[in-house]
Structure 1
Amino acid sequence: MSTQLDRKHSEMFIDESRIATDKRPWFGALPEGLTDNFSFAVMGDRCGMMTAGVFEQGLELLKDLGPDFVLFVGDLVEGYWKDAANAREEWEYIDAQIAVTGLPFFQTVGNHDYGTQAMVDVWRERKGMDYYAFRVGDYLYLVLNTEDPFDPMSDEFIDLVKSATEKVHRDPENTLQYMKEFYDEIVSQLTPEQMKGMSQVNVGISEQQLAFAEKVLAEHADAKHTFVSMHKPGWKAESAEFARIEALLGDRPYTVFAGHFHSLEFSRQDNRTYIQLGRTGAAAHGTTRGDDNLVLWVNVRGGEISYRVVHLDGVTDAAAYPPHAHGHEEA
């Protein structure tokens, strides 16, 4: 395990036994001096079937608001490429958009980011680690990879995904129609048993990753609050691995952030809070307010944690409101 920065303020933890590389899945560094009063933002899925420009709008907003750092819950690229060149091209674009903001930005692996061997290879080539942890003052962050190992999709299914994605990119206003067509086409090709499997959340967390989580949690049992970031919501899965992580967390207060379903959900149970992030650019899976494009703003103030939702569709530049004449029309 490697430790960087000043232990009294902020530090990063990686599992050096996994991959020997100087590449990291984050941009920038945690600000110095963060202790018991700071703010961070959490962004939801940019992909799959993203609408161009929405995630970038979210980045611009956060650049203006200036959180101390940003946490991302996975699916930055459409992915599922078999050709590494295609994967690199997608990453080149979005990595540049994130880097130019200057915001410390911490990534979590999503299934679109890591869903084929080519995607895994390119992630490791560009970002190295696929799970890690960091500490900010008295607050611990554990970033997990729920695609370890990834769940491979058939070539036929990937072709369906790519076809639907192209339609959404070309005509985003009809995304819900294309999503329905995509779902109907999938259903027409599946057996009842396969349909049952479609509703299951498959979480992959390797023994090596679990050992890392156990070590970090044991060494930071004094943390006031632990934040866990994972792409697929482990609390919705029949996952022995996630159950082990919750057992390791025990009675300490903690929050789990996840994504994957493109719809915001919030629940609390005793010492734990579960937040499934909505989308930040990805296709909508429904029409409720939780299906809007949004970001989550988290304030930590003297041990108290608050969560506020910022809906991007309601945020506009002040220049969109030019002067106009005011007066009362005659009755």
Structure 2
Amino acid sequence: MKFYLFCIYIFILIANPLIGQKYKFIVWGDSQFQNPETFERIVHETELLKPDFVLHVGDMIHGYTYNVNAARKQWVKFRKQIEPLTVPFYPTPGNHDITTKEIQPTYLETWGEDKLYYSFDYLSNHFIVLNAFHNQNFDSVSMEQFSWLKKDLEKNKSSHNIFVTIHSPLHLNRGFDWSYVHNLLKQYPVRAVFTGHYHYYDYRKIDEIEYFCLNSSGNMKLYNSYIGYFHHFLQVSVDGNNIDYAVVGDGKIFSKDFVSVTERERAQKFFNENSTIILSSASPGKTELSYILENHSNEVINYSASWETEDYSWRFEPWGYNIILPPNEKKELRFKYELPKEIDKSNLPKLKIESPYTTSTGILTSAKHYANMFIPPTRTVKNVNAKITFDGNVEEKIWEESLIIDNLFVNKKMKHEIDKTRVSMFYDDENIYVGVFGSEPKPENLSAFAYGDIPLVFGDDDFELYFDTNRDMKTFFRLMVNPKGTVLSSSPKGRFTFNFDVKTFIGKDFWSAEFIIPFKELETSKPNIGDAWGFNVRRHRQQAEDIQSDWSKMANHPPYEPEYFGIIIFE
């Protein structure tokens, strides 16, 4: 009898080889050291779920550097982050991981020489990892790789399920024709394509292939799981030909299609990005401030606005508002407040603005954003008619007399940089002049490798200047230079759209730069006495433990935050 049952079992296995082909894997989205506590929590949650293996869709480190040692340190840091994982891990190269040809070898050192694009098998399933940045060609699938893909698919056409990862969601990219890749994939048993890069959740089904866009801990301007802006990972459960997907995040488990394709677009009119409320004075005493609340939607919205603070020596009158605002209208919210005698500028009150939001599927949630109180650092700039020896060396007396900044900060808790940065500035009828001095104990180790049509100067040692000439806290001019004098600049019109002169100098224990910037290139004229501009300075020092420092601390990674620039006032 036992032998008879055994024969039946063997017959069933032969007839249906998918029996016993049951497993699960986890897919992580972008991490790149943004919100590391969130990513590390996801690592621990993944380990608790005990998947058979983990896929990462790319952007594991910050990258964007030419410095090999800096990249190696980042990979050590990432490996430390995923150390709790006890199952196999399969990486996908993202733009942050292999930005430059100089650091690409560190990716291969970490994961293996064959890991730029590759494939592997698990049971009777096949997995393909593509590279959207092969040979530093961004957001594309190279012909070399496409040829390999065709051969790999044909070789594995008998697989029961095929899954693909690629960092960029090229199926959503209007600048790339994904159709020829998609048309190839649909000829084979490709079930899903996993992507990231855009820092939100997106799901759609095209010709029976399911496409996912994931974000595990990358920065976002908005945050609400019901509109796809939240940190999450994907659990994929495979049982033969049956495949189930669960989106895990915010302490909840969602179905794969819980956010419709149109929900995120619709929500843009109801959800606002965080903003700032600029305080003109930090002197103790009673004063007033206002905030403009706008309803960008086509519906009547009931808003609540209330102050949040950990320091209740702050006094606000009123403490909050309830406002019903018709479509496309705005209202000024006015508050009287009293500043405490002692102020912690790194932990100021914030105004929470909240309103109910019902998704297109009928789920009631809330649209919430904050207006963060901010006291910008302020300096005055002198009008001086003086000539400089334009050689990059800022040791002339005029630079000492026009010093406006003598220290930068590495975080929002106002921790000072170790090796000092000094910034001097003055102006005349035609130009604004800026001199930057950076202490550097080992100038022989300065990083200055940027090259190409878009040199990644911020990946080297560099000085960066930001000017918001009309103080709209949205548009600005950006100037960067590395020790070799390589420049990257941008304006509201795009990269390299305005002209200025800059020279650099490397000394015994420092390096410095002199900038001459015509007002006309900043699309303005000579400022009047009392005029104010938004301004900021950033420095990257690759030999430091804290590589990045700012005068007025803004986000460590783009998008930049002109609302957190300091202020320069022209004398």
**TM-score normalized with structure 1 length:** 0.65
Equivalent residue for 2:237, pick from 292, 299, 305? 299
**C-alpha separation in 2, matches of 1:207 and 1:42:** 27
1:208 aligns with 2:183: no
Structure 2 residue ranges without an equivalent (≥5): 1-17, 254-571
Aligned to 2:164: 228
Query: For residue 149 of structure 2, what is the amino acid of its counterpart?
Result: A
**C-alpha separation in 2, matches of 1:210 and 1:285:** 35
Equivalent residue for 2:200, pick from 228, 245, 263? 263
Identity across aligned pairs (percent)?
28
**C-alpha separation in 1, matches of 2:74 and 2:127:** 27
**C-alpha separation in 2, matches of 1:286 and 1:148:** 31
Report the secondary structure of 1:87's partner residue. helix
Native 8 Å contact 2:60 2:97 kept in 1: yes
Aligned to 1:318: none
Query: For residue 308 of structure 1, what is the amino acid of its counterpart?
Result: A
Report the secondary structure of 1:113's partner residue. coil
Report the secondary structure of 1:291's partner residue. coil
Equivalent residue for 1:272, pick from 209, 221, 232? 209
RMSD (Å), alpha carbons: 2.2
**C-alpha separation in 2, matches of 1:56 and 1:245:** 34
**C-alpha separation in 2, matches of 1:275 and 1:41:** 13
Aligned to 1:134: 120
Alpha-carbon distance, 1:136 to partner: 1.8
Equivalent residue for 1:283, pick from 219, 228, 233? 219
Aligned to 1:8: none
Native 8 Å contact 1:262 1:285 kept in 2: no
Alpha-carbon distance, 1:206 to partner: 2.1
Alpha-carbon distance, 1:80 to partner: 0.4
Residues 1:203 and 1:95: Cα distance change in structure 2 (over 3 Å): same
Aligned to 1:20: none
Alpha-carbon distance, 1:236 to partner: 1.6
Native 8 Å contact 1:293 1:313 kept in 2: no
Deviations, residues 29-78 of structure 1 (Å, cap 9, x unaligned):
xxxx996211011111002x601221111111111110011111000001
Structure scoring higher RCO (CA < 8 A, sep ≥ 6) equals 1
Aligned to 1:102: 86
Larger Rg: 2
Equivalent residue for 1:92, pick from 76, 87, 91? 76
**C-alpha separation in 2, matches of 1:35 and 1:281:** 34
Instruction: Judging by fraction of residues, say which structure has more helix.
Output: 1
Structure 1 residue ranges without an equivalent (≥5): 1-32, 152-201, 316-331
Query: For residue 120 of structure 1, what is the amino acid of its counterpart?
Result: Q
Query: For residue 76 of structure 1, what is the amino acid of its counterpart?
Result: M
Deviations, residues 61-98 of structure 1 (Å, cap 9, x unaligned):
11111001111100000110121111111100111332
Alpha-carbon distance, 1:313 to partner: 5.1
**TM-score normalized with structure 2 length:** 0.38
Report the secondary structure of 1:245's partner residue. helix
**C-alpha separation in 2, matches of 1:40 and 1:147:** 25
For these two proteins, the number of residue pairs brought into alignment is 230
Alpha-carbon distance, 1:149 to partner: 2.6
Native 8 Å contact 2:134 2:142 kept in 1: yes
Structure 1, 104-113 or 222-231: larger mean CA deviation? 222-231
Native 8 Å contact 2:47 2:84 kept in 1: no
Native 8 Å contact 1:231 1:258 kept in 2: yes
